[in-house]
């Protein structure tokens, strides 16, 4: 029986048209989404390479596609980075520097500095010491030093620095505990005497501030040098007045101070951070 020949149907191609109004509508919707979710317009979200549109405070919370990829893959600075901006506010010899959000500080190439003398510096977050920082007198710097911890900045963080005159005798102790607490204690010795250091914010002594916590890193600054009879620095005295640990002090005018882990202790109640001077 003969097979019937089937007809092949020929496909007809039709010209596709682009709905311009639909494209514009989709663009407006996408722009609204990126603006609402990432605080960045569509162009900034996809094409910006600086983590935001500038250094204004209103743009500190912008996130771009570059930052999302970097945060997921671990190949960049992560989420919410932005251009650094500096402001200064006068007051009691203290300088504040406003810094952008999302940056991870892992090393310090140039520590906070002052022209004549400097006691301490720290990252201030909502009125608390979030991270202590090494300090230096301008022009007296060693090699770059690692951070005590990797520290992630947030919007609104400031760096607070205590700049002194070259003759100011303020003794400052900066320390970190095993619970991640950062604290700074200071006092100004006068003459031949024992001087107990107190917390720069709360005014409490060592024991009241850090009871039950172990000091795992610390450093101290002082201009007194040979006048320091307490081991060239500060002693951690227990409730019976016996030295249990401590750290030497560095004169910033001669050498850049750096954190160390020698002489750390588990702090008990009624303990003191005590400095003894011969004159």
Q: CB count, 10 Å around CB of 113?
A: 19
Indicate the average pLDDT of the chain: 78
Res 75 pLDDT > 80: no
Phi-psi region of 91 (alpha: psi -120 to 50; beta: other; left: phi over 0): left
> At 157, is the secondary structure helix, strand, or coil?
coil
Where are the domains positioned within the chain?
Answer: 20-73, 94-277
| pLDDT for position 38 | 64
Answer whether residue 149 shows pLDDT above 90.
no
C-beta separation of 186 from 171 below 8 A:
yes
- Residue 176, pLDDT score: 93
How confident is the model over 153-211, as pLDDT tens digits? 888 888 899 999 888 999 999 999 999 899 999 999 999 999 999 999 999 999 999 99
Q: What confidence score (pLDDT) does residue 89 get? A: 37
In this prediction, residues 90-119 reach a mean pLDDT of: 67
Cα–Cα separations (whole angstroms), residue 194 to 190, 229, 274: 9, 9, 7
Share of the chain above pLDDT 90, in %: 41
Provide the pLDDT for residue 230.
Answer: 92
CB 112 within 8 A of CB 161: yes
Residue 218 or residue 1, greater confidence: 218
Residue 115 has pLDDT above 70, yes or no: yes
- The pLDDT, as a whole number, for residue 78 is 39
> Which of 3-7, 83-87, 267-271 tops mean pLDDT?
267-271
Q: In this predicted structure, what is the pLDDT of residue 202?
A: 94
- C-alpha torsion sign, points 32, 38, 39, 41: negative
> Average of pLDDT values for 81-105?
48
Which residues are CB-contacts of 138 (< 8 A; sequence separation ≥ 6)?
113, 114, 115
The 128-133 sheet, strands edge to edge: 94-98, 158-164, 117-125, 128-133
Judge if pTM exceeds 0.75. no
pLDDT greater at residue 65 or residue 134: 134
Report the sign of the C-alpha dihedral through residues 96, 101, 105, 108, in that order: negative
């Amino acid at each position: 029986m003969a097979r019937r020949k089937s007809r092949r149907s020929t496909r007809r191609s039709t010209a596709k048209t682009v709905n311009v109004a639909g494209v514009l509508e989709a663009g407006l919707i996408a722009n609204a989404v990126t603006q609402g979710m990432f605080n960045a317009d569509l162009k900034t979200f996809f094409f910006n390479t600086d983590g935001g549109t500038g250094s204004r405070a209103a743009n500190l919370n912008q996130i771009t596609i570059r930052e999302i990829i970097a945060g997921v893959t671990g190949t960049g600075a992560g989420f919410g980075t932005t251009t650094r901006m500096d402001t200064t506010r006068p007051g009691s010899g203290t300088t504040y520097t406003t810094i952008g959000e999302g940056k991870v500080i892992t090393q310090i190439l140039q520590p906070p500095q002052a022209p004549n003398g400097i006691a301490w510096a720290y990252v201030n977050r909502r009125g608390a010491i979030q991270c202590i920082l090494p300090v230096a007198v301008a022009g007296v710097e060693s090699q770059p030093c690692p951070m005590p911890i990797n520290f992630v900045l947030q919007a609104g963080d400031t760096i607070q620095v205590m700049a002194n005159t070259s003759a100011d005798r303020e003794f400052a102790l900066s320390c970190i505990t095993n619970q991640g607490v950062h604290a700074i204690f200071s006092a100004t010795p006068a003459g031949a005497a024992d001087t107990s250091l107190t917390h720069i914010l709360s005014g409490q002594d060592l024991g009241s501030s850090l009871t039950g916590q172990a000091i795992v890193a610390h450093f101290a600054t002082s201009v007194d040098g040979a006048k320091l009879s307490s081991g060239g620095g500060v002693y951690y005295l227990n409730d019976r007045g016996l030295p249990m640990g401590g750290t030497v002090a560095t004169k910033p005018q001669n050498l850049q101070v750096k954190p160390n882990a020698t002489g750390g202790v588990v702090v008990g109640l009624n303990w003191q951070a005590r400095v003894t001077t011969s004159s």
